[in-house]
Chain A
Amino acid sequence: MKSLYLRNFVAVGIFFLAAGFSSAQVGAPTILVQPASQTVEHGTNITFTVTATGTELNYQWRKDGKDLADYGNVSGANSSALKLVGVAQMDAANYSVLISNSSGVVTSSVAKLTINSITVFSDDFESVDLKNWTAFSELAGLSSALRQTAAEKKLNPVSRGSLSPEATRLTSSAEQNHKSDGSQSALLISSQQKMYRNLGVELAGAARATFWIYDDGGTQYRAYAELRGYSGAGHGIYTFPSGMKQLLAIGRYATGFGANQTGELADEKVNPKKYQAKVERGENTGWFNLAAAPDCSVGWHKFVIERDSDGTTIRFYVDDVLGRTITGADHVLLDCVTIGSVGTGTGVGNAWFDDVKVEAFPWRYNWLSKDSEGRGLFDWMKLRETGEDPWVTNVREITSVAQLEGKGFSNERGNWIAEGSAIYSREMRGTVEYVVNAPSADTYRIEIEGRERRGKMPVVNLRLNVWIDGEYLGRFILPYEGKTNGFAHCFTPYLAVGPHTIRIEWDNAENKCSLYLQAVRLQSLAGTDLNGNGFNDWAENRVLAQSGMDPVPNTSRVSPASIEGRGEYLSLMKCSAGISLTEMQPVQIHPGAGRRWYADVPLAPNRATTIKILHQNGIIEENAEINWEITNLLEAKDAVIRKGDSLLLNAQPSSQSFGAVNITIGDENYKIDTSTPLAVRFDQPGTFKVTGTFAPTGAAGSITVKVVEASFGNSISAWVGKRRFWDMDNLPSEVVIEADPRLKFTRVSDEERAQQKPTPAPLHINGRQYSVITDAAESRFAVARLGENGPILASSVVEGFRLFNWYDTYLRYVQIHKDGSQTIEEAFILSPMLPNITVTVLIIVSGVTFDDGRVTKTLTAADFDELGICRVRYIRDEGVKTSVCHTTKVYQDGVLIGWPAYEK
């Protein structure tokens, strides 16, 4: 097996524990190159970089002043380069970075990210016909069946009418074209007609429409342009209450407002010297003057309707001057643009239009599907999983090296039915396992092909939890479109050659939904190997980013030495230690806080101890040596150590090479000589005076050893997204808690705790309370350190879970009985199943019981089936008009930890 050999001998004092923690003096950070503002196209990948000097720099990027984290399309929030995949208006903001180390903090200047709009429609009227536009009338050509009542018209004044034969096209005219390049504009000859164009897309949030309209100063009575939103995809036949939902108009209206359907805006009277605009639906509707815009004048004018991202604030501009802002407009998807004119009296109204443009400012970009390379490897996945710049091509080829049909599973849980080569689930949830053969040791991608069996729309999130060889790879969404299969991808750790078990859990709560699994593949991604070491660069970068040992100091004052590092596949790791590579003993590895690990390595006295770490089935081997430092009591400083730590004690003057030594710890006396220091293990917490005397000269010295014990108490379970409190047992003041950064984790003050209802049980003497919100139904760890960056005393886990109730699952009739009473069933789902969780369901309405006749039910793990489903049945008496109203509360060890968002 090839290995990436890394050696690790950097001496950094990460856990010296002399009283009064000290750290090396480092230079305060200074920014050399500030992040630069950028204006980019929608969907672009962008990078903000900062260059700074200083040592041990910590980076925290901020968006509009709020800390960013690596989440969604964001990566590198804590690095010198912030990367955003597929930006959209939601990303348009002011970015800055805070850089800190132990000597200071500096904040960068602000870099603004601006995202250009997308033009969804434009017409410069240079084509030989008006094929972009269809004429219609709102007042003529309606059959009686389609005519609106006055009340309906008030709500929805627009309907479809007949084509307007008068509408035609203007040839080029120097006088009536706002550009002097001889290009053409459009002439609409019309009495009351308009021309519409469906945009083909539905614009939510921010949008802008620009129109150039010629004001002839007299013969043209009204000329205007509009943005519209219909209940269907664009202009359609009027049917109440669908049809048009919004209309935003601008132009020259120049007639009394009161006669039209929606009247004028409050207190508004037409000013014929000004241009006008209109909002059809919302809190402020009707025609109004664009009072702040320039007066009407003969010639071409640029009219702009601009809607904010909130969808409710509309701005109207004339010649780039803001004429009016209207708030409270109904936020409707805009899907149609129109131009129109009305003649004076019975005469025709000629109106000239040019350069119509509609722009969208999409709030989101589908960055999940962005694949810059076009090789089936999404950018975000590359960034997260390979550690590479996603906009650099370095994966040459993706090959399926093993494929199993859906029905080729080796193990299952639930109710799976074969359909051709695929399988589908008859249950709401299920698990299947596949054994795939890795032809060579490598990092692979797993591809899962499938969909919702019936092509359920709207699309449901098919959430798949995936493991390989028992190692959790994460939670992935299987996208699909109708009955077309989609693909979910996830990466494996570095796998040994041979068989491996892929476990796929369909973590579903939605009723009437069936996962259809077509195939599972193991894929090899061949890429560049720039350093020629036989590994694909992407795979090498990935394992190095995921796995490694933090710098280990040359010496440790205590044994065992606490070592730690990055790594999340702990079962694929091996740690061993010994005085030589031939005498290595295994060392247990524990999960640390946030994709990390730690281990306590026992040290040998008088000799260097070799530490060997193998990551991800041995793809990375790291070695380090560490010496157990002698605590010379004649000159040593006091020590604060962990319960169970050992000190190597001696009392030897620097001028003496050998002699007898007396060491006293409390009442205990030990006699040694200077050649064999005394290894003493401190098994009890407390403060001990340790005295050493060099017998030949009587030179004596003593230190105080403070032994600290810490325990979290019971580990906790936390409902994803819901705050709960964690009472920790015994955490003396020296102890610092470090939690997985994916947890929202804050200490609760005594004052805050005193306000809690119900009143919590008293804390232990060294107890503390923290507030915890977890991000996922996964394990998240917290560790207790002896001081900042000190060795780890203890760790505990926060087990995330979700409880789904009727809101996500179902509540349905099962039976109506002869007496008219009904049996109604609700499914509760606990995901994952946690043994110490209880769910209490209390009926709170009269005339309803559970099927056992009671009104109180407590669900424990035993009540849920192997898929995590518990079906609860209610019996409701005939005549009860309310629902089967109940409350649900979740407890762990008697402590209330949450309740559903939607219930009584």
Chain B
Amino acid sequence: MKIHPFNPVAAEVTRFIPSRAAKCGMRYEIRAFSRRLLRVLGALVFVGVLCPKDAKGEIFYATSEKPSTSLTASFVSPAIISSTIRPIINPSNTMAERLKAVHRLGETLGRDEISALYDFLKSAPAQEEKDIAGLHGLKNDTLNVLRNQSSAPEHLTDTLIKIYRDPTQDSVMRDYSIQHLVTWYEQGAPDSSQAKEKIRSVLHQAAQEDSSIAGTALLGMHRLSSSDDAFSGEEIDRMALHQTQSPGVNRATRITAIQVCAERGVKAVTPAIESLTQTLDSLPLRLSAIAALGKLGREENSPQMRPPETGSEKELSAALQNAVRQLK
């Protein structure tokens, strides 16, 4: 089913679910679809690339997780919040206004401003927050600004680690903290001399979580290992192989672990992914397996790269073509 443009559909979800009963087939179909989409969207908390932008273009509004706690915006004393930060944390402003305020912050924030932003990042959403997806986008852009200060903000590494380790944070913010830790490491993590060591330790810990964060951490470690010997290539290989071979591993992590194996040339993974090239459980899992087999397999794997008789040939075509080309 094609959904385009996105916004009206999302809006439809919001309107239908709470108030309307499905009374006719047509409506039921829409509602059923909407429910399915809601299930998908309910799991989505867009950030960064899917967050609303300044009152123009595509805006994704998705229903989202409930905040784990309900705090008001009193997490930081108003006396120390500068007028540059206030519009960002004020939930009564529109998300577009708040994003604009973030994008105006510049590269030379003062210590108090940075401290206020840390408090904002660490806080659970205030009760007044209506757009949690937008809030995640806002926090993501705030982290971008903090990482790109002309002088490294003190305690940025510690703040990100705290967010990751805070069980009251939702999974999206915890995942983002891992992503930003990886990027911060790439930038040299110059906020303290122990920062890199701390980040390596956290990534190692996160890569063993039983959630999709493990895949994010593993992918980050893999990328960082190409330029930093402090990451053990053998250990990353072993972790990626384990996560690929274990059916019980979180599926998102498994999808990513297969690609880590492929990019690292871990041929031992081949038997495990051969069967996954035909799986109907998950399209991205299958695509990842096809791409990995193309990279790691032999020419005799080519027959496995035929599209299935029915189903999603179209979705597989790019991966299959690439894989077959590589196998030859």
Contacts and interface: CB of A to CB of B under 8 A. Distances in A.
A5 interface: no
Contacts of B172: 881-882
The SS class assigned to the A binding surface is: loop
Interface in B58-84: 58, 60, 65, 78, 81, 83
Contacts of A881: 43-45, 65, 171-172, 175, 212
6 contacts: A460-B56, A819-B282, A879-B43, A881-B45, A902-B141, A904-B140
Interface of A: 155, 241, 283, 312, 328, 458, 460, 510-512, 757-758, 806-823, 826, 842-856, 875-887, 901-904
Nearest to B128: A241
Contacts of B118: none
Contact of B37 (A807, A816, A823): A816
B1 A846 contact: no
Given A849-B259, A849-B291, A884-B49, A819 B44 contact: no
A284 B49 CA distance: 36
A812 B315 contact: no
A757 to B, nearest CB: 6
Contact of A847 (B5, B50, B251): B251
Interface stretch (B15-23, B108-116, B158-166, B218-226): B218-226
Nearest to B7: A812
A884 to B, nearest CB: 6
A283 B179 contact: no
B287 to A, nearest CB: 3
Nearest to A887: B183
A883 B284 contact: no
Contacts of A823: 315
A822 to B, nearest CB: 7
Interface of B: 1-6, 9, 36-37, 39-40, 43-51, 53, 55-58, 60, 65, 78, 81, 83, 86, 92, 103, 140-141, 144, 171-172, 175-176, 179-180, 182-183, 187-188, 212-216, 218-220, 223, 227, 250-253, 255-256, 259, 262-263, 280-292, 312, 315, 318-319, 321-323
A881 B213 CA distance: 10
B283 A875 contact: yes
Nearest to A809: B57
B1 A815 contact: yes
A148 to B, nearest CB: 15
A853 B48 contact: no
Contacts of A875: 283-284, 287, 315
A904 B48 contact: yes
B290 A851 contact: no
Nearest to B43: A881
A757 B188 contact: yes
Contacts of B3: 813-816
B4 A883 contact: no
Contacts of A883: 44-51
A878 B40 contact: yes
Nearest to A329: B83
**Which 10 A-B residue pairs are closest in the complex by CB-CB distance?**
A846-B215, A847-B252, A853-B291, A853-B287, A846-B256, A853-B319, A883-B50, A852-B318, A855-B259, A846-B252
B167 to A, nearest CB: 16
Given A881-B212, A883-B47, 7 more contacts: A512-B58, A853-B292, A854-B262, A855-B256, A877-B284, A880-B44, A885-B47
B203 to A, nearest CB: 12
Contacts of B92: 155, 241
Given A844-B220, A878-B40, A849 B252 contact: no
Contacts of B141: 902
B288 A815 contact: no
Contacts of B262: 854
Contacts of A328: 83
Given A816-B1, A846-B256, A877 B251 contact: yes
Contact of B284 (A510, A848, A903): A848
B288 A880 contact: no
A878 B212 CA distance: 11
Given A881-B43, A885-B179, A844 B216 contact: yes
B212 A847 contact: yes
A852 B293 CA distance: 12
A902 B292 CA distance: 30
A904 B179 contact: yes
B215 A882 contact: no
B289 A853 contact: yes
Given A512-B5, A882-B45, A849 B219 contact: no
A512 to B, nearest CB: 7
Contacts of A809: 57
B6 A812 contact: yes
B58 A811 contact: yes
Interface centre among A155, A757, A818, A844 (most CB of B within 10 A): A844
Given A815-B2, A846-B255, A882-B47, A511 B283 contact: no
Nearest to A824: B50
A542 to B, nearest CB: 37
A814 B86 contact: no
A354 B46 CA distance: 55
Contact of A854 (B48, B57, B250, B291): B291
A245 to B, nearest CB: 10
B183 to A, nearest CB: 7
Nearest to A818: B312
A757 B259 CA distance: 27
Contacts of A512: 5, 57-58
Nearest to B51: A883
Nearest to A826: B49
A844 B182 contact: yes
B183 A904 contact: yes
Contact of A880 (B60, B187, B252): B252
Contacts of B1: 815-816
Contacts of A807: 53
A886 B50 CA distance: 11
Given A846-B256, A847-B251, A819 B48 contact: no
Given A814-B2, A883-B50, A851 B287 contact: yes
A283 B78 contact: yes
Contact of A903 (B44, B49, B285): B49
B50 A811 contact: yes
A808 B144 contact: no
B288 A853 contact: yes
Contacts of B215: 845-847
Nearest to A876: B284
Nearest to A328: B83
Contact of B212 (A460, A846, A851): A846
A816 B212 contact: no
Contacts of B39: 820
A845 B180 CA distance: 11
Contacts of B140: 904
Contacts of B256: 846-848, 855
B237 to A, nearest CB: 16
A808 B284 contact: no
B252 A510 contact: no
A512 B53 CA distance: 15
Contacts of A511: 57-58
A903 B55 contact: no
A811 B284 contact: no
B319 to A, nearest CB: 4
B253 A822 contact: no
Interface centre among A813, A848, A884, A885 (most CB of B within 10 A): A813
A458 B56 contact: yes
A771 to B, nearest CB: 15
B261 to A, nearest CB: 11
Contact of A816 (B40, B83, B179, B318): B40
A754 to B, nearest CB: 14
A816 B37 CA distance: 8
B284 A820 contact: no
B212 A758 contact: no
A842 B223 contact: yes
Given A814-B2, A881-B45, A852 B322 contact: yes
